[in-house]
Structure 1
């Protein structure tokens, strides 16, 4: 029962981190459409801001669960993937027409659904501009038991143990020292 609850919680947290990674695209589309669709655009801006805040909320809420010790054998910063993420998933929304036709909106909707499916099914969702803006980096950490992802304000030091909270599967949040 407890394992099922923790598994469901980790899926929910991963989903919220995924939604927060979409905040730049949501904000850009909303701002681009504000003159023609002001009510919907303001709703989009509010949703974009709230989705950005989800990253902080997820990280704050998980700190209440006991941490696990981790000793890295290798560390790689995944933050350098953010420009690729922005060019691939946010840049297209910069060129949304000021007066989009129904077909254009449907095409962007299909692109958005495709983008969401890719982000949620891969670790690209961990490449999250919202996390970087609030001071966190995502690191791939090699341990004796395999590769994990660690969200941390500081780069883990090889062969120096640290503690981290499990967010989901192989995703961890490091604990402040």
Structure 2
């Protein structure tokens, strides 16, 4: 009888062990699905912001060059694009801390945003917004640390990304 009890305990222990292994596999699969969904949503939001920037390309390009002479409505369109990018990047930085975003994706999006805010108008905008803590702490810290390593304003960016170059009329105004 005692032997049967020991065999029962052993089988019960094995059952618990198998259940724990199954649970661990399920949790890992759930985490992978959560990460994939997070990345899918992040990329979708980023793409939506890029479409917005494309729809308002003239305003965004002029804003990056210098927004002082722009009409307020045009400034608002371009500022909205950069605010959207900044808020999105702040979210990605927070998700990366929790393991829900990959470092390569955060690096790519950080470099894109930092590039834009390193331009003459972009940097003026960044400094204005940072002075009033307009963005999240993670974004402020990350972007400021990246900008310290760049020559600002970054006049080379339009050579690398010709689609953001200034119109000749804007160049004559400065």
Q: Please indicate, yes or no, whether the TM-score normalized by the shorter chain is above 0.5.
A: no
Higher alpha-carbon Rg:
2
Larger strand percent: 1
